[in-house]
Structure formats: structure tokens, C-alpha cells
Structure 1
Amino acid sequence: MQMYAAAAPAVLGYIVWLLKRQKRDRDANGRGTMLLLRVQLMEYHDKYMAKGKIPSYAYQNFVEMYQAYHELGGNGMITKMYKEIQDLHLVDKKGGQHGE
């Protein structure tokens, strides 16, 4: 029984260390994912704002990436870009505008 009592603090310390390490790794992965999403969102924004229109599939991708980015804690200038993308004319695959 004394052996278990002596080993418990070491085992608990190891478990705490593992949990902290896992959290650090998750935080780093989340931050990296957020940064990659930001780069892609900025590229979409620049490309389609220059064209003045956005295909529906690209708009859907942008919205889904923005939602993931926002859930990871991103905001700021990307939110402004999101609002600008929402104002663009949507076009389907054949080049026609939605709502025509």
C-alpha cells in the first residue's frame, strides 16, 4: 500500500505533463490551421474582388473556410473581407449570374 502511495504523485505528475503537452500541441495545430485558412481567405478575396464576381462553388468554399477560421478564434480584417465577398455577384458554373 505504501508503494502505491509513494508512486501516485509521480504518476499524477506524469499525467499532468502529458495533458499539458497535448494541449500545447492542439493549440499549435489550431493556430497553424487558422493561419493557413487566413492565407487562403485572403487569396480568394483578392482574386474575386478584382473580378467583381465569384462563382457559387468558390463562395461556398469561402464561407466554410471563414466559419472554420472564426471558430478557431480568427476575426478582424478577415471579417471585413467576408462582408465584401458577400456583396459580390454570384455566378454559376456556366457564367450566369444568380437571380437572373
Structure 2
Amino acid sequence: MTEILTETYKLALPIVLTAFMGYIVWLLKNQKKDRDANSAGTMLLLRVQLIEYHEKWTKRGYVTKHGIENFIEMYDAYHKLGGNGMATQLLAEVKELPIKG
């Protein structure tokens, strides 16, 4: 009886472990897809906001102290997510604006 249980255990354990590892890999892949989608969406929202602020402030002719601080923080987050050089040009132009308030 003990031999049957031992053989069953030896046979079943690798199968169960393989299935469990497959499930873990599947979960990790799905989580990566979700993270990638969230990162892409966040980057898009940051880019839109950077463009809107740039347009608003360049038309107005100045930027506030808090505005430039927020812009730089958004730019840093955008850049860390893999944003392109377009935002770098916007940042350079915003930094040239006079700071009021």
C-alpha cells in the first residue's frame, strides 16, 4: 500500500507542479499586459496635459511658479514612462517663459 502511494506521489507531484508553474506564468503575463496598457494610457494623458499647458502658457506669455513645478514633475513622469523628445522641446519653451506669481 505504501509503495502505491509513493509511486502515485512521485508521478503526480511533477504534474501538479508543472500545472501550477504554468498558471503562475500565465498570471504574470496577464499582469504585464495590464501594466503595459496602464503605462501607455498614463503616458498619453501626461502628453495631452503637457501640450495643453504649453499652449495655454505660451499664449498667455508667462507661467506661474507652481505651474512650472507641476510641468516639470509631469515631464519627469512622462519621460520615465518612455516619452519621446517632443515633450523635451515643450519643457524648454515653457522654461523660457517669465515666471509670475
TM-score, normalised with respect to structure 2: 0.87
- Structure 2 unmatched runs, 5+: 1-8
SS in 1 for 2:63: strand
Greater helix proportion? 2
Please tell me the residue identity of whatever aligns with 2:90.
Answer: M
Partner of 2:57: 48
CA distance in 2, matches of 1:7, 1:58: 57
Greater strand proportion? 1
Q: Give a deviation string over 1:12-51, Cα, whole Å, max 9, x none.
A: 1110000000011001000000000000000000000111
- Residue-pair matches, total: 92
Partner of 1:57: 66
Q: What is the Cα-based RMSD across aligned positions, in Å? A: 0.8
Deviation at residue 81 of structure 1 after TM alignment: 0.5
Partner of 2:12: 3
- Structure 1 unmatched runs, 5+: 93-100
Q: How high is the sequence identity, in percent, across the aligned residues?
A: 52
Q: Which has the larger radius of gyration?
A: 2
CA distance in 2, matches of 1:50, 1:25: 38
1:1-100 paired onto structure 2 within 5 Å: 1=9, 2-92=11-101
Deviation at residue 75 of structure 1 after TM alignment: 1.8
Please list every run of at least 4 consecutive aligned residues from structure 1 whose deviation after the TM superposition is greater than 6 angstroms. none
